[in-house]
């Protein structure tokens, strides 16, 4: 769901449950454009720590600009008491220096662009959210869903992959669960229910590992094909002097996303070349039982 579609659905809910139900409080007409404007103002003006029951708009303080050089999460404002906003961080300041804050260290460039209208030239801001889902058509759907939920996950899982960083924890584990089948399906039996996630943290079988490599590479290629330009073409566009600021921001975001997709694809392409060198479940199990030595030789026990 895109941002506008999400805001539209929220507006429809608010209109039905609040606005129309309280005409005495909202005598005038509130349109979707009004709601979209309010949504944008709220998203762009609220401070990172002022969320949930602390949500607040604070005039004057919201004029303080973001500075990407601030890397401490404590370098922001917080409510200290009723009607009192403060910042504890000690910093030197002299006239006419400007006060800055860090809007949010965890936001990607795409989120910064949507919420604040700018991006950072920082690779750690370039990310791509990979969405993985247990298919309802999977013959082991119920078992896989149960295992996912037992381990704090669900039918759908979202993994934010950041440029230049390793894959998120549990991503490969979840992928192995998604691709589990065939002769590996025995791990889905109730007997293994409390241990299966631990087994999935390591390679299960060559077929399973090959499947996750192919699934992700195909997904990356499909996502990259959906863009109408290449990274090289986008980088050439960014060199143009007649680009409007909104165009530049959009191109910077999509370049970052493409680079992350290529990074993910390369990780699994390289992994696919190493399948013969990995140790799988059956080999680990035989080692645990003492039937295979550390060097892979079969051990024959004499009676």
Q: Which residue numbers are catalytic?
A: 103
Q: Do 150 and 177 meet the contact criterion of CB atoms below 8 Å apart?
A: no
Q: d(Cα 10, Cα 183) in Å, to the nearest integer?
A: 46
- Which DSSP category does 15 fall into? I
The 3-class SS string of 17-76 reads HHHHHHCCCCCCCCCHHHHHHHHHHHHHHCCCCCCHHHCCCCCCHHHCEECCCCCCCCCC
Q: d(Cα 131, Cα 145) in Å, to the nearest integer?
A: 15
Q: What is the distance in angstroms between the CA of the first residue and the CA of the last residue of the chain?
A: 66
Pairing of strands 78-81, 84-86: antiparallel
Task: Give whole-number Cα distances, 268 to 62, 158, 160, 261, in Å.
Answer: 43, 18, 16, 11
What is the H or E stretch that residue 224 is in?
helix 206-225
Residues 6 or more apart whose Cβ sits within 8 Å of residue 160: 108, 127, 128, 129, 130, 168
């Amino acid at each position: 769901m895109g941002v506008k579609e999400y805001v539209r659905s929220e507006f429809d809910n608010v209109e039905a449950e609040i606005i129309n139900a309280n005409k005495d409080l909202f005598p005038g007409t509130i349109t979707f454009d009004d709601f979209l404007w309010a949504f944008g103002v709220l998203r762009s003006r609220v401070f990172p720590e002022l969320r949930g029951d602390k949500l607040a708009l604070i005039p004057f303080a919201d004029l303080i600009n973001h500075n990407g050089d601030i890397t401490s999460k404590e370098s922001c404002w917080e409510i200290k008491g009723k009607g009192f906003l403060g910042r504890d961080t000690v910093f030197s300041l002299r006239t006419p220096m400007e006060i800055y804050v860090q809007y949010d260290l965890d936001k990607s460039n795409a989120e910064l662009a949507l919420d604040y209208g700018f991006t950072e030239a920082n690779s750690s801001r370039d990310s791509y959210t990979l969405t993985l889902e247990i298919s309802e058509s999977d013959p082991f759907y119920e078992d896989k869903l149960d295992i996912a939920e037992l381990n704090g996950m669900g039918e759908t899982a979202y993994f934010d992959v950041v440029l230049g960083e390793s894959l998120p924890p549990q991503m490969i584990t979840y992928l192995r669960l998604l691709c589990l089948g065939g002769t590996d399906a025995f791990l889905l039996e109730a007997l293994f229910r409390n241990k299966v996630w631990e087994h999935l943290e390591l390679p299960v079988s060559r077929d399973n590992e090959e499947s996750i490599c192919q699934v992700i590479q195909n997904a990356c290629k499909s996502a990259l094909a959906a863009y109408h330009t290449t990274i090289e073409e986008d980088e050439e566009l960014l060199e143009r002097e007649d680009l409007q600021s909104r165009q530049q921001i959009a191109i910077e975001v999509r370049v970052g996303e493409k680079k992350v997709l290529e990074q993910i694809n390369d990780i699994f392409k390289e992994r696919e070349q190493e399948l013969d060198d990995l140790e799988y479940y059956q080999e680990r199990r035989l080692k645990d039982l003492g039937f295979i030595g550390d060097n892979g030789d079969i051990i024959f026990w004499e009676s």
